[in-house]
Amino acid sequence: MLGNLKGLLVTMREFFRPRVTAQYPKEHLPVAPRFMGFPVLTWDEKVEEPYCTGCMVCVRYCPTQCMSATMKDNPLLQEGKSKRRKIVDEFEINLGRCILCGICVDVCNFDAIVMSHEHELSVFVRNGNRVDLERLLEMGWEHQQKVGWKPSGETGESKEEKAAV
Ligand code: SF4
Ligand code: SF4
């Protein structure tokens, strides 16, 4: 009898406890500020061009080899609008193969790639998540607006210091 009452008490206590689960996909819980979703490319709004020069460093370090990039001479350098001699021409990440390790972000010297909060890109087609330069920049711009992202040169913090916040 006492055992039954104790059990009932536990049930009652849990019944009135605030709900912490969400009925996904109808409900979405907010992610933490440091959540690492898919990598995206950042946009330099002062110059109106990507930060990425297509230098391939991230491509070489990516453990799953899911990235590719090419560079070209920067036309805005000729016009005196940019200091970047080279600029990204094509860039692709196969997000279906990305393991969200963040190595590409760590090795980039130009603040050109960041881990966004995007994590819901499921598709029914194998290899259906190959994302091109245009889409990566769109996703990056959305992320920049959402979190108020600034390059480490403007905040005075190193990339490591920013990541530790
Ligand atoms: S994201 Fe950074 S490391 Fe990768 S190609 Fe662009 S500039 Fe180079
Ligand atoms: S997060 Fe890791 S696996 Fe994904 S693209 Fe960057 S280096 Fe490659």
pLDDT tens, position by position, 58-86:
999 999 999 999 999 999 999 999 999 99
Ligand 2 atom 8: residue of nearest CA: 62
In a domain, 118, yes or no: yes
- Asked if the structure places residue 4 within a domain, the reply is no
Instruction: Give this prediction's pTM.
Output: 0.86
CA dihedral 143, 145, 146, 150 (to 10 degrees): 80
105, 95 Cβ separation under 8 angstroms: no
Model confidence over 25-55: pLDDT tens digits?
Answer: 899 988 999 999 999 999 999 999 999 999 9
Q: Which of 73, 110, 69, 74 lies closest to 90 in space, CA to CA?
A: 69
For ligand 2, atom 5: residue with the closest CA: 98
CA of 105 to the centre of ligand 2 (A): 8
Residue 92: inside a domain: yes
Does the structure show a pLDDT above 90 at 149?
Answer: yes
Ligand 2 atom at minimal distance to the Cα of residue 102: 1
Atom of ligand 2 nearest to the CA of 64: 3
Question: What is the domain count for the chain?
Answer: 1
**Does residue 87 form part of some domain?**
yes
Q: How far apart are CA 79 and CA 91, in angstroms?
A: 24
Does some domain include residue 18? no
CB 106 within 8 A of CB 93: no
CATH number of the domain encompassing residue 47: 3.30.70.3270
Which residue do the tokens 């110059």 mark? 47
Structural domain of 97: 39-163
Compute the distance between CA of residue 3 and CA of residue 145 in angstroms, rounded to an integer.
56
